[in-house]
Amino acid sequence: MAFNKEIYGAIPHRPPFLWIDSIISFDTKRIVTEKFIAPDLDFFKGHYPDHPIMPGVLLCEAVFQTGALFMAKMLRAPEQNDASRRTTPVLTRIKEAKFKRVVKPGDTIRMHVTFDENIGNAWFFKGKVLVDNKTAVKVAFGCTITDTD
């Protein structure tokens, strides 16, 4: 996937640990992102050699990164750039993770994250990963923003 300036300018994650290729939609309550799961990703060699599937923890990470992207878009003015970023999103809570379907090499996943509320510096979300328009993962989670200075 080509470099996505909007994503790179908003969150600190980078390949090979960036699990968002594109932003599909965004508003003040939700964000939808997408990622193509390349068949040559290294983890498929060991998870599992005869039946490769994407680890559930990485599917959750794709949701968490989508939540971080939502936070960045809500908190940062569009004219700011990488050099002006002095904060980092940090996961603080994972609740109710449910794994319903496997993701295989060559699939495209779509992450849907809905903003529930924020209390002070804590943000709370519900997220899911879809593959072939079917739910693969559902998870509730919380994040905060930390200063990097």
Residue 84 pLDDT class (50, 70, 90 cuts): very low
* Segments making up each domain of the chain, as ranges: 19-147
The catalytic residues are: 47
Q: Does pLDDT of 133 surpass 80?
A: yes
Q: Does pLDDT of 2 surpass 60?
A: no
Distance in angstroms (rounded) separating the CA atoms of residues 67 and 86 = 18
Residue that the structure tokens 């060991």 belong to: 46
pTM: 0.91
pLDDT tens track for 21-69: 999 999 999 999 999 999 999 999 999 999 999 999 999 999 999 999 9
Q: Does pLDDT of 79 surpass 70?
A: no
Residue 99 pLDDT class (50, 70, 90 cuts): very high
Look at residues 47, 35, 130, 143 and name the one whose alpha carbon lies nearest to residue 89.
Answer: 143
pLDDT tens track for 19-31: 999 999 999 999 9
Distance in angstroms (rounded) separating the CA atoms of residues 129 and 6 = 21
The top-level CATH class assigned to 19-147 is alpha beta
- Above pLDDT 70, what percent of the chain? 91
Distance in angstroms (rounded) separating the CA atoms of residues 117 and 135 = 23
